[in-house]
Amino acid sequence: MPNALDKTEFERLFKNEFKGLVLFSIQYVKDYEAAREIVQEAFIGLWDKRSQIDPARQVKSYLSTTVRNRSLNYLRDNRKFDTRLLTQENLFPLASYEQTDNLVVKELQDKIHEAVSELPERCREVFLLSRNEHLKYQAIADKLQISVKTVETQMSKALQHLRIRLKDYLPSGYPST
Query: How much is the pLDDT for 139?
Result: 92
* C-alpha separations of 145 from 2, 141, 150 in Å: 67, 6, 10
Domain 7-81 top-level CATH class: mainly alpha
Question: Sign of dihedral through CA atoms 79, 83, 84, 85?
Answer: positive
* Distance, CA of 75 to CA of 29 (rounded, Å): 6
Q: Which residues contact 21 (CB under 8 A, 6 or more apart)?
A: 39, 42, 63, 64, 67
Q: Which amino acid is at 18?
A: F
* Distance, CA of 41 to CA of 94 (rounded, Å): 22
Residue 98 has pLDDT above 50, yes or no: no
Give the range among 71-80, 83-92, 101-110, 145-154 with minimum mean pLDDT.
83-92
Residue 127 has pLDDT above 80, yes or no: yes
Q: Where in the chain is the domain with CATH 1.10.1740?
A: 7-81
Mean pLDDT over residues 49-62, rounded?
A: 72
* Distance, CA of 1 to CA of 7 (rounded, Å): 17
Q: Where in the chain is the domain with CATH 1.10.10.10?
A: 87-169
Record: fold of 87-169: Arc Repressor Mutant, subunit A (1.10.10)
- 14-25 confidence digits (pLDDT tens): 898 899 999 989
Residue 68 has pLDDT above 50, yes or no: yes
Whether residue 153 contacts residue 143, with contact meaning beta carbons closer than 8 Å, is answered with no
Question: What is the pLDDT of the chain when averaged over all its residues?
Answer: 77
